[in-house]
Structure 1
Amino acid sequence: MRSLRLLVAAQKLCAGLRQMPAVVEPHGPRLLRTIHSSSSPGPPVSTPPPKTVAPFEEAYARDQRDKASFVQVLDLFCGRDVRRRGHIELIEAALRWMPQFGVEKDLEVYNKLLDVFPKEVFIPRNFIQTMFLHYPRQQECAIRVLDQMEYYGVTPNKHTLFLLAQTFGKYSHPVKKYQRMLYWFPRFKHANPYPVPVHLEADPVALSKVCLARIAADRDAQVTVYQLPSSEVCEDGTVQEHPHLVGIQSPDQIELLADHDPKYPVIVEGPFPLWLKNICVQYYVLRAEPATKKKDVLDPERSFYYPIQLDLDLERDLGDDLSFDVDDVEEGPVYAMCMAGSGDERMLGKWIQCLQETNPLLSQLPVLFRLTSGLQEVSLPVQEEDESVKEKVRRSSTKEEEETRQHRRMEL
């Protein structure tokens, strides 16, 4: 009823305005403003400077790259404009530059990024806005921040929830993402029985010890440092560098090497890559061919009528499909492993000489080196492809010329 009365009053007001005579002034007609609409709700408006959105890539591309300079860029942006125009571009640029500033695992910096969003602007006012993803670009940007936290294993805290709820509301998608992370992170935090150290050693010898201990399947394996990295000044004035050499061998591997058949050689293979977080190291192995294994001697107490292992085919259900193909690949035994600063034959030959102290049989065995060039980028042979294409075109043109000549001869 009230809305009907307002509609009738507005109709009478419009009819009265139509009957009013136009006021003509000497300088021309003046338009009369009759309706005034208020501005949409939002944060207070301040007069922005002439350049509101700074080039964020140039702001982060500075010489001094640390946490203080990274946070300084965020503080300068938040202090320039109350409405914080361009906050999505700033956050996306900050996510790209975080690994170079060394703050990709800092929870305080991620909370600082979420604090860049304007507060109480993107909160839905009714259930329809909540259902249709109110301000989708801003919510997706906040989810990208949480995705990067998940990628680097950063667990959010209560302050993160407070910032997300203050910006997008309690029932928004970023808050749901936060709840999933807080549910699963504590459960998978200690699931790995052999976790990688949080801070990796910068010393190559210490890093080699950690890597070899992770590769070795036997916990009784002993790590031995055969050579430390050093430099030596020769008589002619040249400086000769001596790289590090670290090896590992278990008591079981020593017994296997002692039982090796002297007729067959041992092989040094490598390098093989091993990734620890963002660091890639290379290791070498001393192994034998599969044919050098000695045949298993039957236990005299074994009975052929009562075998030790029974292969029983137990049918569980008609719907279970247990048929699959398995390729049995025979591999030779591995006798030792090492990590060296340089993977040339001279350095690896020194490793074999050091192994002879605990493995005397190794001095009687021939050693083969199967070394590769290591990790390389794949490059396409563009020039060869061009030459092959030219050769095909030349052959096709020659063939056409011969067919033309034969056709002319037939006509004659």
Structure 2
Amino acid sequence: MRTLRWLVSAQRFCAAGRWMMGEPCKAQAPLVRMAHKAAANPPSFPRPTDPHSAMTPFEAEFAKQQKDKASFVQVLEVFCRADVRRRGHVEMIEAALKFMPYFGVEKDLEVYNKILDVFPKEVFIPKNFIQVLFLHYPRQQECAIKVLDQMETNGITPNKHTKYLLMQTFGKLNHPIKKYQRMMYWFPRFKHVNPYPVPEGIEADPITLSKYCLQRVADDKDAAITVYQLPSTEQCDDGTIKEHTHLVGIQSPDQVSLLAHHDTSFPVLVEGPFPLWLKKTCVHYYVLRAEPSACKVETEVDPERSLYYPIKLDMDLDRDLIDDYSFETEEVEEGPVYAMCMAGDEKLLIRWIQELQKTNPVLGEVPVLFRLSSAAQQLSLATKDNHSRQTEEDEIAERDETGQGDKENGQGNETGQEDKNGQGDRLRVKL
């Protein structure tokens, strides 16, 4: 037996001697090659995979449900009844927060309380001050803070039931309770801080939305809003259904007087569309304006006013002459704005100009230039036949090439397209 042990020891010693002398070990050669291969080709960043295949089981459960509040709450209740321990509750809550906008419940306080109810009760409550100091169950507390953060983002004020659920889950001394207390302190103070609140549900009605947006942009109490066309559907003789979009305009008495003093040798411009965000809804509006030199309003000068003897002298005695607190700003002279409108289709802009002629007769003598920033649009007025329209366009093109100007000697509708700085197609219409 002792001899057998000596033989085994001698075999191990010989194997160690061969390794020290540099003789390669066949069993370790593949490992060495694998190490060098890994060092030569470092791992790359993971490539994006298919979103459907990358879904967690909880996200897939939300994805296959009908997008309403009842289905959303049903998924949460099924998860709570499936296991008493609520294993995977953090992943379930994160998936629920992700799919709330798709179900339209991101502003429902009852649903947020249902999500907080997913946490198992009386499990994460700290037992001593050391657990409170070192953030007892940090992942669960951070998940609860995410729920409160999403409530804060959507402007949802928690109630007493929210506090009861947090205390039942994490106790009194924890970070979610601190977050709840800060929200209850600041939310009532900032609830009515906005002097121009946006009504709820205004996005459903395009006419009401257009009126509200135009009043905000105009900022003139004397401005009159006119609804030129209501959204409607019309069934044609061939069975097709034709939809009519809305057209709403606004104009103040001051704008009417400015347009009356417009120089008829200069055209008026219809520009747009300009975006306007109202919460999460983006709308577009158009303006009717002119160049700065087109409108010249003579102002009466006070005969007693003199540069040597000013009527009013503004002097800041608390500041020295060498102190200059002004900012270097570049003053850009802009032309007057005569009217604004919101239209569902750019083809309705011609009708808007025609309706403005009833209260502004000067538009019948001034050429209108459409400067639209979108893609090329075919804005043209109805003419007698295609041949006469093509003839008029050729005549306008020839006059522009010879430098004869933009003044028109005949009557009728005239169109001409030009491009400037890539802003899109323009259309000159004389109405």
TM-score by length of 1: 0.72
**Counterparts in 2 of 1:6-405, with a 5 A limit?**
55-234=57-236, 239-294=241-296, 296-304=299-307, 305-308=309-312, 310=314, 312=316, 314-315=318-319, 322=325, 324-344=327-347, 347-373=348-374
**C-alpha distance 158-343 of structure 1, shift in aligned 2 (>3 A):** same
**C-alpha distance 292-72 of structure 1, shift in aligned 2 (>3 A):** same
Gapped regions of structure 1 (runs ≥ 5): 1-53, 375-412
Partner Cα separation in structure 1 for residue 139 and residue 238 of structure 2: 67
State the shift of 1:274 in Å: 1.2
State the shift of 1:102 in Å: 1.1
Secondary structure at 2:346's aligned position in 1? coil
Any conservation in 1 of the 2:202–2:209 contact (CA below 8 Å)? yes
Partner Cα separation in structure 1 for residue 235 and residue 79 of structure 2: 54
**C-alpha distance 126-339 of structure 1, shift in aligned 2 (>3 A):** same
Gapped regions of structure 2 (runs ≥ 5): 1-55, 376-431
Partner Cα separation in structure 2 for residue 266 and residue 216 of structure 1: 19
Partner Cα separation in structure 1 for residue 236 and residue 119 of structure 2: 63
**C-alpha distance 73-63 of structure 1, shift in aligned 2 (>3 A):** closer
**C-alpha distance 313-324 of structure 1, shift in aligned 2 (>3 A):** farther
Any conservation in 1 of the 2:202–2:208 contact (CA below 8 Å)? no
State the shift of 1:178 in Å: 1.0
**C-alpha distance 174-229 of structure 1, shift in aligned 2 (>3 A):** same
Amino acid of the structure 2 residue aligned with 1:183: Y
Partner Cα separation in structure 2 for residue 202 and residue 282 of structure 1: 16
Any conservation in 1 of the 2:65–2:71 contact (CA below 8 Å)? no
**C-alpha distance 273-124 of structure 1, shift in aligned 2 (>3 A):** same
Q: Deviations over 1:216-265 (max 9, x none)?
A: 21022111111122344556665544322111111221122122222222
**C-alpha distance 241-163 of structure 1, shift in aligned 2 (>3 A):** closer
**C-alpha distance 117-227 of structure 1, shift in aligned 2 (>3 A):** same
Partner Cα separation in structure 2 for residue 87 and residue 307 of structure 1: 76
**C-alpha distance 286-313 of structure 1, shift in aligned 2 (>3 A):** farther
Amino acid of the structure 2 residue aligned with 1:341: G
**C-alpha distance 168-296 of structure 1, shift in aligned 2 (>3 A):** farther
Partner Cα separation in structure 1 for residue 302 and residue 315 of structure 2: 20
Partner Cα separation in structure 1 for residue 76 and residue 65 of structure 2: 17
Secondary structure at 2:131's aligned position in 1? helix
Partner Cα separation in structure 1 for residue 118 and residue 369 of structure 2: 61
Q: Deviations over 1:361-385 (max 9, x none)?
A: 12111111110117xxxxxxxxxxx
State the shift of 1:179 in Å: 1.2
Partner Cα separation in structure 2 for residue 223 and residue 309 of structure 1: 42
The residue that corresponds to 2:382 in the other structure is none
Partner Cα separation in structure 2 for residue 238 and residue 342 of structure 1: 19
**C-alpha distance 79-334 of structure 1, shift in aligned 2 (>3 A):** same
State the shift of 1:119 in Å: 1.5
Partner Cα separation in structure 1 for residue 117 and residue 173 of structure 2: 18
**C-alpha distance 199-367 of structure 1, shift in aligned 2 (>3 A):** same
State the shift of 1:309 in Å: 5.8
Partner Cα separation in structure 1 for residue 270 and residue 317 of structure 2: 42
**C-alpha distance 167-236 of structure 1, shift in aligned 2 (>3 A):** closer
Amino acid of the structure 2 residue aligned with 1:315: R
**C-alpha distance 242-309 of structure 1, shift in aligned 2 (>3 A):** farther
Q: Deviations over 1:288-331 (max 9, x none)?
A: 12233436442334343124462547439x9x994533222322
State the shift of 1:145 in Å: 0.6
Moved more, 291-300 or 91-100: 291-300
Partner Cα separation in structure 1 for residue 163 and residue 131 of structure 2: 21
Moved more, 290-299 or 240-249: 290-299
Partner Cα separation in structure 2 for residue 368 and residue 235 of structure 1: 35
What is the CA RMSD across the aligned residues, in angstroms? 2.3
The residue that corresponds to 1:383 in the other structure is none
Amino acid of the structure 2 residue aligned with 1:185: F
Amino acid of the structure 2 residue aligned with 1:331: E
**C-alpha distance 81-144 of structure 1, shift in aligned 2 (>3 A):** same
List structure 1 segments (4+ residues) > 6 angstroms apart after TM superposition. none
Any conservation in 1 of the 2:166–2:176 contact (CA below 8 Å)? yes
Aligned residue pairs total: 317
Identity of aligned residues (%): 69
Amino acid of the structure 2 residue aligned with 1:69: S
**C-alpha distance 108-299 of structure 1, shift in aligned 2 (>3 A):** same
Q: Deviations over 1:4-58 (max 9, x none)?
A: xxxxxxxxxxxxxxxxxxxxxxxxxxxxxxxxxxxxxxxxxxxxxxxxxx81112
Q: Deviations over 1:174-195 (max 9, x none)?
A: 1111111111111111111111
